[in-house]
Structure 1
Amino acid sequence: MDAQKKDGASWGDRRAVIIRALVEMKKRKHTLEATHLGVYILDKCLDSFHVVKTSLSDVCAVSMVLGTKMEEYESLRPGNVDGLCGATADRARLCDIEKRIVHQMKDGLCFTTPLVFAYYMLAELGCDAEQIRLAQYILNLALLDSAFRDEGGPRVAHAAVCITSAIVWHKNDPALLSSI
């Protein structure tokens, strides 16, 4: 959030809009990958240019639009966001925001999020469904905390996989679990 000024979006505003986006994207049955990519794009926007607090919901909605465009066939469009994250219904405004984001991000956008790295590690380790769901939950929680946002994607993914493995493998042994 390097580009934010006094009247810009705060960490609390970011967290609130992300919680709302996670809930609404799940209701609309969009993939977790698209949602994580949308949050990554939102974070890049907050680092790249000043976002007024009242416009944060619009920027978040457009970030989710871009995330779904990169990850899904049935993607969101500025015309069908239908108030996602409290966004305006003004298609022209949302399209202008989308153009600005794409223009600003043309050089510095990496598509791999911690979720993608974690999936590769979980597949390589041959983890079961319980470990995968727990890793997804941990990575969703990491989206909300600013400390994880500044870490690199592979480091956050590695930490989530290690924590998940330790919890699931030792859940039947309370002595080992309490020592973690």
Structure 2
Amino acid sequence: MPRPPSDAEFSELVQASWASLYRTAYLLLGDRAEAEDLVQTALAKTYASWSKVRTIEAAPGYARTTLINTASSWFRKKSWRNERPTQTLPEQGVTHDPSDRPAVIAALAQLPPRQRAVVVLRYYDDLSVASTAHALGITEGTVKSQTSDALARLRALLGDAVVPDTLGAHHD
């Protein structure tokens, strides 16, 4: 039986995965401070369960799953607000067509939390329908319907040039 990773390996995990976890958290939440809180909370939960992680190779996936599960629990709270008006959009950490970034972030912020989560996990983290369903604790059918509804909303907000009608048609 493999030994659990060490504290030093946890420190390495934090250094190696912070940026990726933060980008995912930011896309899920749409707020820098809340994204940082989510990553910190997820990493604290990961460390609390560190002895359950069997290999260092499994650790990044464990941390990401913990982040997604934590975000999902935040979405279920009655105090969760779907929109946060701001004067300026925050800088982006993902490299895409720079001219589309502000509009995409603003459009993501207008989606309900679950729709935002499926879009981020499917198209940013490139998870399959099954992996997204497992990560969010929902059925594959719910992932598909939420993705379809989210993409339709994003197309309405951004246009077909940014969200082509073919997006989502064949992405498993």
- TM-score tier by shorter-chain length is 0.3 to 0.5
TM-score (norm 1): 0.36
TM-score (norm 2): 0.37
Please identify the structure whose Cα radius of gyration is greater.
1
